[in-house]
Amino acid sequence: MKTIYARIMKRTKILMAALLISIPFIQTPAVTQSRIPFSNKNVFLSGANVAWVSFAGDLGPRSASSPNNVNFSRFQTIFQTVHQNGGNVMRLWLFTNGVNTPAFGSNGYVTGSGPYTIQDLRKILILAQQNNIGLILCLWSFDMLSEPPSENMTSTQLSNNYNLLTDTSYTMAFIRNALVPMVDSVKDNPAVVAWEIFNEPEGLAPPIAWGGYQHVQMSDIQRCVNLMAGAIHRADPSALVTNGAVGFFSITDVNPPLSARKSSLKTLNSISPDELKSITDNFNQTHRTDFTVPEMQAFMDKIASLTDYNYYRDDRLIAAGGDPLGTLDFYSVHYYTWEGAAVAPFLVPCSTWNLTKPLVIAEFMFSNLLGSNLFTNLAWSSIYPSIYSNGYAGALEWSYGSAGSSEKSETMQSLSSMHDDHPADVGINIVNQALDASVTASSNDTTSDPASSPLNITDGNISTRWQASSSSSQWVQIDLGKVDSIGRIVIYWAKQTYAEQISVEISSDLKNWSLLKSASQNSSGSDDVETFEYLHGAARYIQFQFTQPRNGPYSISEIQVYGDSASVDSIVPIHTVPTAFALSQNYPNPFNPTTTISYQLPSNAFVTLKVYDILGREVATLVDAEQTAGSHEVSFNGGTVASGVYIYRITAGNHTATRKMVLLK
C-alpha cells in the first residue's frame, strides 16, 4: 500500500497519460491462470484485508487486570461476514511497528514474541478456521521506522527496529526467539495461507525513501526477506512465504520504453489541482501519513523516471542474505490510482510482468478507484472478475476494518459473485470436521496414563492424548455426526509412537465400508505427523486400523479431518459390489454387551458365521444361510456369557476368516 507512491508518478503520470494518449509499452500476451496452493487445492485468493482491529495491538502484552483486551468478537464478526459472502482469505498484520510486540531486551535484541502473542494468534487462527477463512500473516510494516512520536514510537523502539533491519545479529535474534517459535506454534493450523515478511518496505529505502521515516538500504530489506523466508521454510517446509510490494515497479524487470516515460512526464503538469489533492488525501488515508499536496507532487516528480526492478527475484534475495531457502513462493503487490491506468490489474494481464511465480493483488480500494477521474467508466462489480480473468492469483480489497458501509457492501457483493461464478477456484474447506466428534477405540490404557481417553483424539488440544493398552493391532473410529466430504486427514502421534501400517476405511451407515487410504509410515508424513491428502471421500464414519507399532503401544494426540471443496449437499454414498472377500474387526471392541460384525462378499455364497469361546466351544451361530454379493453386518449380544476373549469365524464358499473380540462387563 505504501510505495505506491513510487509508482505514484511513474504511474500517476501514466495516470493522465492513460486518459490522453495510448501507452505503447503495455503488451497483451496470452493470459495464463495462476493459483495459490491452499486447502488441499490450488485456489484464487478472493477476500479482503483485516488488516487489524487495533493497529499494532491485536497481539501481545496486557495487564493482569485487563487480560482480555483483544477484541476476538470483532474478529469473529469479520471472519463470519466474509465467509458468509463467499470470501476465502483475509490479510492480518502481526508485529507491524514493534511497539507492542515482539519483546525486546535492554540490549535491543529480540528475546521472544511477547507475552500472550502466540496465544492470541492461535485463537485468531482458530476463529478464522471455524469460519472457513484463510489468513495471510504479515510480520512487519514500513511503520516500524516511523519517526517518534508517530504511532507511540519511541527513540529506543526506533533504534531497536533499525538494528533489526540493518544488523544480522539483531535479525537472527528476532528469527530465533520470536519468528521460529511463532511458526512452530501455528503450523498445524490449516487457516495459515502464507507468511508475509513486510508490508511496503520500499518506502523505507532509496530510491523511494518516504519522508517521516528513518531510512535503510534496499539491500537491508532484501537480506531480511531472505533470512526470514529461509527460517520460515525450515520451521515449516510446507509454509508459503510472500512479501507485500508497494507497486509493480518493485516486483518486475519489465520497463516501459523511453518514449512512454517522456509522455508520462509530460502529463504531470496536466493533473488538475482537485485530482492531485484527491491523490494526496487518499494516500494519507491508506498509509496513515500526512503528505501535503506539494510534497506529493514532488514525490511523484521524483519517481516518474524510476526503472522497474524486481528486488525479490530468487537470485537477488539469495545474493543479499545467502540463504538458499530464503525465496518467495508467490509475489504480492498493491495497486492504487497513483500508479495509473498503465498498470491497473483489472486492465493489464498478469503475464505482462514476465514473472515466474503467481502474483496476488493484496491491496486495492474501491473508493480510491471509483472516486478517481482515471476510471470514469469503471464499475465496481467488474474489478474482482477482471483481476481473476487477467490471470492474477488473488484479489484483496483494502481494508474491511476501516471501510465505510458502502465500500463493505460492494466488497461483500463482489466476493459473493466470485464464489457463485467460480466455485471451483474460490471454494475451500479448512474446518476440522472431526473437532469434538464422538470417538471409540479398541482399547484405552488409563493405567499408564490416567488422563488417556479416545475423546482426546478430537478435542482440539495437542497436549492431550489417547493411549492404546497394548501393541497389538488397534483401531479408532470417528463419527463426524453427518455425511461430509473428506479431503485431508492429519494424525498427530504422541510420545514418538506410531504405526508402521495404517488403513483408513469410511462408511455412511456402518454397513457399507470402503477403503479410503492405506499407507506405510514415512510415505506421507514424519514420525510425529501423518498427513493424507487429496482423498476425495465422503462419509460419516472413519475407521483407522493401526498395525506394526513403533516405540511401544500406539498413542495419538489428535486426528483432524478436512473436507473437499465440493459441496457436501451433492455427496451421495456409493454402494458397490466388493471386489474381494473381507471380514472386518467387530465394532465396538471391547464391547458390552452388543457388537457389530461386518463382512463383504464378492459373489453369492452360503455363509456360516459362528462365535466360539477361547476353549473352542461354540457360543452362538449368527449366520447360516445363502447370501448375495455385497456388504453385510450382523450383531452379537454377549449378555448371557461371561467376560473374556471370543473368536468369530466365517465361512463363505471357499473363503474362511477368523478374528478375536473382547467382551468386558
Is the pLDDT at 406 greater than 80? The verdict is: no
pLDDT at 303: 65
pLDDT value at residue 19: 31
Residues 396 and 483 in one domain: no
387 and 243 within one domain: yes
Could you tell me if 222 and 355 lie in one domain? yes
Confidence (pLDDT) at 362: 98
Q: For 6-62, write each residue's pLDDT tens digit.
A: 333 333 333 333 332 233 333 333 345 689 999 878 999 999 999 999 999 999 886
Residues 236 and 374 in one domain: yes
Query: Mean pLDDT across the chain, nearest whole number?
Result: 84
Task: Report the C-alpha gap between 563 and 303 in whole angstroms.
Answer: 48
What pLDDT is recorded for position 256? 59
Residue 338 lies inside a defined structural domain of this protein: yes
User: In this predicted model, which residue has the larger pLDDT, 664 or 117?
Assistant: 117
Q: Are 434 and 560 within 8 A, CB to CB?
A: yes
Q: What is the pLDDT of residue 361?
A: 98
Contact 2, 238 (CB under 8 A): no
pLDDT value at 447 more than 90: yes
Statement: residue 258 has pLDDT above 50: no
pLDDT over 60 at 567, yes or no: no
What does the DSSP assignment read for 176-204? IIIIHHHHHHHTT-TTEEEEEEEESGGGG
> Last residue of a domain, which of 380, 406, 426?
426
Tell me if 310 is assigned to some domain. yes
CATH number of the domain that residue 468 is part of? 2.60.120.260
Give the whole-angstrom CA distance, residue 468 versus residue 460: 19
CB atoms within 10 A of CB 627: 15
Q: Verify that 636 and 599 share a domain, yes or no.
A: yes
Q: What percent of the chain has pLDDT over 90?
A: 51
Instruction: Give dist(CA 144, CA 161) in Å, integer.
Output: 6
pLDDT tens, residue by residue, 166-199: 999 999 999 999 999 999 999 888 999 999 999 9
- Structure pTM? 0.72
Residue 454: strand, helix, or coil: helix
The residues, any chain, with a CB within 8 Å of residue 604's CB and separated by 6 or more, are 626, 627, 628, 629
Query: Quick one: pLDDT at residue 571?
Result: 35
Give the pLDDT mean for 369-383. Answer: 81
Residue 120 lies in a domain: yes
Query: Which of the listed residues 570, 592, 614 is the one where a domain comes to its end?
Result: 570
Query: pLDDT value at position 92?
Result: 97
Tell which wins on pLDDT, 200 or 577.
200
Using CA atoms, how far residue 105 sits from 96, 101, 109, in Å, is: 18, 12, 5
pLDDT of the residue at 259: 43
Distance CA 466, CA 493 (A): 10
User: Is 388 domain-assigned?
Assistant: yes
Residue 107: CB partners within 8 Å, gap ≥ 6?
none
The DSSP symbol for 561 reads: E
390 in any annotated domain: yes
Number of CB atoms found within 10 A of residue 641's CB = 16
263 located within any domain: no
Regarding whether 84 and 118 lie in a shared domain, the answer is yes
State whether 516 and 603 are in the same domain: no
63 and 160: one domain?
yes
Q: What is the CATH number of the domain that holds 657?
A: 2.60.40.1930
| Domain assignment of residue 640, yes or no | yes
For the purposes of burial, counting CB atoms within 10 Å of the CB of 371, is it exposed (0-12), middle (13-18) or buried (19 or more)? middle
Q: What pLDDT is attached to residue 304?
A: 65
Domain stop point among 544, 570, 596 = 570
Averaged pLDDT, 593-604: 86
Same domain, 514 and 631: no
- pLDDT tens digits, 310-353: 999 999 999 999 999 999 999 999 998 877 778 899 999 999 99
The answer on 357 and 316 residing in a single domain is yes
CA-angle at 515, arms to 520 and 555, nearest 5°: 50
Does residue 394 sit in the same domain as residue 499? no
Give the chain's domain count: 3
Q: Residue 326's domain is classified under what CATH number?
A: 3.20.20.80
Report percent pLDDT > 70 for the chain. Answer: 86
DSSP 487-530: -EEEEEESTT-EEEEEEEEEESSSSSEEEEEEEETTSSB-SSEE
Residue, of 367 and 425, whose pLDDT is higher: 425
C-beta separation of 383 from 369 below 8 A: yes
The more confidently predicted of residues 280 and 316 is: 316
Backbone dihedral angles phi then psi of residue 369, each to the nearest 5 degrees: -75, -45
The pLDDT value recorded for residue 276 is 79
Taking only the tens place, the pLDDT of each residue in 79-108 is: 999 998 999 999 999 999 999 999 999 999
Provide the pLDDT confidence category of residue 68 given band limits of 50, 70 and 90.
low
Within a domain: 503: yes
Domain membership of residue 145 as a residue range: 47-255+303-426
pLDDT of residue 282: 77
Q: What is the pLDDT of residue 311?
A: 98
Confidence of residue 577 (pLDDT cuts 50, 70, 90): low
Same domain, 376 and 521: no
Q: 40-54, 239-253, 447-461, 487-501 — which is least confidently predicted?
A: 487-501
